């Protein structure tokens, strides 16, 4: 059963859901791009890794159920005794997946695709620092960059200037930004409202080579079904980033017509 919403589901922005959605979309994007790429190009999933002492590492795959976990208790309070020490673990690496398109003639990087994560949009963190550094390196190297932002929360991060984007699309919630030499130093932007279907995304290759296009909405629908997000999305609560009054009425109307999953009923 697909999401009840026509485009991006705001309940999927929840931190208990979005990391899995992020990684699923990366894999589905890779597969859809490879199905459309001409010779000599190939798309692969790649990983960016950094250490952030302030980030708490979450398991890559976990099961959720109806029962809440017990509250966290400081181990120093439980294991305080003669000869005992409580030693905190070292920070673990944080990994983020993205897609690279390379030419098989010399393994040359042509295009990079990113689905933005919360860490990319969090001010002051290493995840944002690493992301902006990559954004700058793509610009200098002439590598095309496709940025897919499905998060309303956080600082504006894509290459297109925020003020210019707001002037052209004041009511956007999500957007896709395509930049780089292959688009003649312009920004190709698809601004998406809350009720809009996710767009057909242009994927530029080398200058003079026609772009390919990937439909983003079917990939989101596939992730929703395959990962059982209907069971994980907390539709009985407000979304992570609250909706305004009109948006809330619109969402409530949609949710009132949906058929609950077996887990919810």
Q: What is the pLDDT of residues 132-146, one digit of tens each?
A: 999 999 999 999 999
pLDDT, residue 54, reads 53
Quick one: CA torsion of 53, 25, 121, 127, rounded to 10 degrees? 30
Q: What is the pLDDT of residue 91?
A: 63
149 φ, ψ (degrees, to nearest 5): -110, 105
- Alpha-carbon distance of 128 to 19, in angstroms, equals 16
Q: Which of 95, 159, 158 minimizes the C-alpha distance to 127?
A: 95
Q: Residue 155 has what pLDDT?
A: 96
| DSSP string for residues in the chain | ---SSSS--GGGGSTTTHHHHHHHHHHHHHHHHHHHPPTTEEEEEEEEEEE-TTSPP--SS----SSPPPPP--HHHHS-STT----PPPPPEEEEEEEEEEETTTTEEEEEEEE--HHHHSTTSHHHHHHHHHHHHHHHHT-EEEEEE--SSS---SSS-HHHHHHH-TT-SEEEEEESGGGTT--EEEEE-TTSPPPEEEE--STTSPPEEEEHHHHHHHHHHHTTHHHHS-TTS--SS---HHHHHHHHHHHHTSPPPTTT-
Q: What's the token pair of residue 250?
A: 């619109």
Other residues' Cβ atoms within 10 Å of the Cβ of residue 213: 14
What per-residue confidence (pLDDT) applies to 84? 82
**Over 70: is that where the pLDDT of 57 sits?**
no
What's the pLDDT band for 75 if we cut at 50, 70, 90?
A: low
Q: Give the model's pLDDT for residue 263.
A: 52
pLDDT tens readout for residues 88-139: 666 667 789 999 999 998 899 999 999 999 999 999 989 999 999 999 999 9
Whether the per-residue pLDDT at 51 is higher than 80: the answer is no
Q: How far is CA 163 from the centre of its chain?
A: 22
| pLDDT tens-digit map of 153-204 | 999 999 999 999 999 999 999 999 999 988 887 899 999 999 999 999 999 9
pLDDT at 265 over 50: no
Is the pLDDT assigned to residue 234 strictly greater than 90? Answer: yes
Task: Specify the residue for token string 């509250």.
Answer: 71
At 87 the pLDDT is 73
Residue spans of the domains in the chain: they are 10-61+91-256
Q: Is the pLDDT of residue 246 over 80?
A: yes
């Amino acid at each position: 059963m697909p999401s009840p919403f026509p485009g991006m589901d705001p309940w999927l922005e929840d931190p208990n859901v979005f990391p899995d959605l992020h990684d699923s979309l990366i894999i589905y994007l890779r597969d859809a791009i490879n199905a459309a790429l001409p010779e000599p190009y190939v798309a692969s999933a790649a990983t960016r890794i950094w250490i952030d002492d302030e980030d708490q590492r979450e398991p890559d795959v976990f099961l959720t159920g109806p029962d809440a976990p017990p509250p966290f208790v400081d181990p120093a309070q439980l294991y305080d005794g003669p000869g005992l020490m409580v030693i905190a673990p070292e920070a673990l690496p944080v990994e983020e997946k993205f897609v690279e398109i390379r030419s098989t003639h010399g393994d040359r990087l042509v295009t990079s695709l990113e689905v933005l994560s919360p860490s990319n949009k969090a001010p002051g963190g290493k995840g944002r620092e690493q992301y902006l550094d990559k954004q700058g390196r793509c610009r200098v190297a002439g590598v095309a960059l496709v940025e897919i932002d499905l998060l309303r929360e956080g600082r504006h991060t894509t290459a297109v200037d925020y003020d210019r984007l707001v002037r052209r699309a004041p009511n956007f919630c999500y957007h896709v930004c395509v930049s780089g030499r292959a688009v003649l130093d312009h920004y190709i932007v698809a601004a998406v409202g809350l009720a809009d279907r996710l767009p057909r995304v242009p994927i530029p290759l080398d200058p003079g080579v026609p772009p390919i296009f990937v439909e983003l909405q079917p990939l989101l629908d596939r992730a929703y079904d395959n990962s059982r997000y209907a069971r994980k999305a907390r539709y009985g609560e407000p979304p992570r980033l609250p909706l305004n009054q009109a948006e809330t009425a619109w969402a409530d109307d949609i949710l009132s017509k949906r058929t609950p999953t077996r887990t919810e009923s």
